[in-house]
Amino acid sequence: MRRKPARLGPALVMSLFALMACGAPADGPPAGPADEGLPSTSAIVGAVTKDDALAATLPTAVVQSGKLRVGSNIQNPPNNFYAADGRTPVGSEVDLAKALGAKLGLAVEHQDMAFGSLITSLQAGRIDVTMAAMNDTPERQQAIDFVDYFTSGITIMVQKGNPAGIKSPDDLCGKSVAVNLGSSQETYAKEFQCLSGDPIAVTATDSDTQNQNQLRTGRVAAILNDLPTAVYVARTAGDGEFFEVVDLAPINGGPYGIGVDKDTPELTAALQKALQALIDDGTYGEILQAWDVEQGAVAKATVNGR
């Protein structure tokens, strides 16, 4: 039976989007009674058992630490965001990371950081992987490797009622548009070729909350974001009264990837096999279904799209 998360109340939604905690909180217990409206996924993740043979292939440093340090930008519901306590990461990606950790016999520790610093932090060894709704692109593959786990694309979110009359990317020309700094959406908006009139005026920030405030107050005409996040925010923010998503096919559809440093191919291989095991046994699908994002499910865990 298809499970959908209940709609969150306005007060809880705004508290979730307002909380932008910093640092590296260790993952706490699953969301509790204070998080009414969030799907219950603890039983799904808790049922995952360790694969000893697969765990034996992990890099020595990871085995010795006993944990998987996951770098993320924790502000993108339903992918990743904070529970009502302001410090416990929750979301579809968080659950998937925990399931991968359980399959490999590792505790999972999320580190919250700016999206633009994720790849450099990975290369510097401050984290083991990235998992932050990051698109696997040829440009990023030059720096790191990706284990692809989801398919998404760019969508346009506007004020409720669409007062600016935006129906396609061409309608963004000459208007101000908010994006996340260092994201694929920023690249797309800056490179978009306007056939007539002025180009898109791009406002890039590190905060989804700031972008949403700018859209609500009319300082920007639209937000470019990934499909799962935009749909979730439009459905829940202000009890669905603040925003809506323009009805068009996802733009530049492509995979999300778990970023792994090129110097740790053993970790890349272990994560790929662990993800495929979760796909095959149904755990992966149950997690996505619980968060109502199964439309982006993949049937095969690939590395760099292959």
**Residues 129-173: pLDDT tens digits?**
999 999 999 999 999 999 999 999 999 999 999 999 999 999 999
Tell me the pLDDT band of 196, cut-offs 50, 70 and 90. confident
d(CA 214, CA 232): 18
Kindly tell me if the per-residue pLDDT of 292 is higher than 70: yes
| Number of domains present in the structure of the chain | 2
Higher pLDDT, 254 or 55: 55
Closest CA to 67 of 29, 96, 102: 102
The 10 Å Cβ neighbour count of residue 98 is 26
Kindly tell me if the per-residue pLDDT of 16 is higher than 90: no
d(CA 195, CA 198): 9
Q: What is the pLDDT of residues 77-110, one digit of tens each?
A: 899 999 999 999 999 999 999 999 999 999 999 9
Do 30 and 59 form a contact (C-beta atoms < 8 A)?
no
Token readout for 77 is 């519901």
Kindly tell me if the per-residue pLDDT of 30 is higher than 80: no
Kindly tell me if the per-residue pLDDT of 2 is higher than 70: no
CATH number of the domain within which 241 lies: 3.40.190.10
Q: Note the pLDDT of residue 235.
A: 85
Q: What is the pLDDT of residues 49-63, one digit of tens each?
A: 999 999 999 999 999
Phi, psi of 260 (to 5 degrees): -135, 140
Q: Note the pLDDT of residue 294.
A: 86
Q: Note the pLDDT of residue 35.
A: 59
Percent with pLDDT over 90 in the chain = 75
Do 89 and 95 form a contact (C-beta atoms < 8 A)?
no
Average pLDDT rounded to a whole number, residues 226-236: 88
Q: Note the pLDDT of residue 36.
A: 59
Q: Give the 3-state secondary structure percentages of the chain, helix then strand then coil, rounded to 5.
A: 40, 25, 40
Kindly tell me if the per-residue pLDDT of 258 is higher than 80: yes
Judge if 23 and 114 occupy the same domain. Answer: yes
Average pLDDT rounded to a whole number, residues 274-289: 97
Q: Is residue 184, in this structure, part of any structural domain at all?
A: yes
Judge if 109 and 219 occupy the same domain. Answer: no
Judge if 122 and 55 occupy the same domain. Answer: yes
The 10 Å Cβ neighbour count of residue 287 is 25
Q: Is residue 5, in this structure, part of any structural domain at all?
A: no
Which three-class secondary structure state does DSSP give residue 90? strand
Q: Is residue 142, in this structure, part of any structural domain at all?
A: yes
Judge if 64 and 201 occupy the same domain. Answer: no
When the pLDDT of each residue in the chain is averaged and rounded to a whole number, the result is: 88
Judge if 72 and 142 occupy the same domain. Answer: yes
Q: Is residue 282, in this structure, part of any structural domain at all?
A: yes
Judge if 283 and 170 occupy the same domain. Answer: no
User: Tokens 């990706």 map to which residue?
Assistant: 146
Tell me the pLDDT band of 227, cut-offs 50, 70 and 90. confident
Q: Is residue 91, in this structure, part of any structural domain at all?
A: yes
Judge if 34 and 17 occupy the same domain. Answer: yes
Judge if 166 and 98 occupy the same domain. Answer: no
Domain limit, last residue, from 220, 237, 252: 252
Average pLDDT rounded to a whole number, residues 289-296: 87
Omega before residue 163 within 30° of 0, cis: no
Judge if 201 and 70 occupy the same domain. Answer: no
Residue range(s) defining the domain that contains residue 207: 154-252
The 10 Å Cβ neighbour count of residue 6 is 9
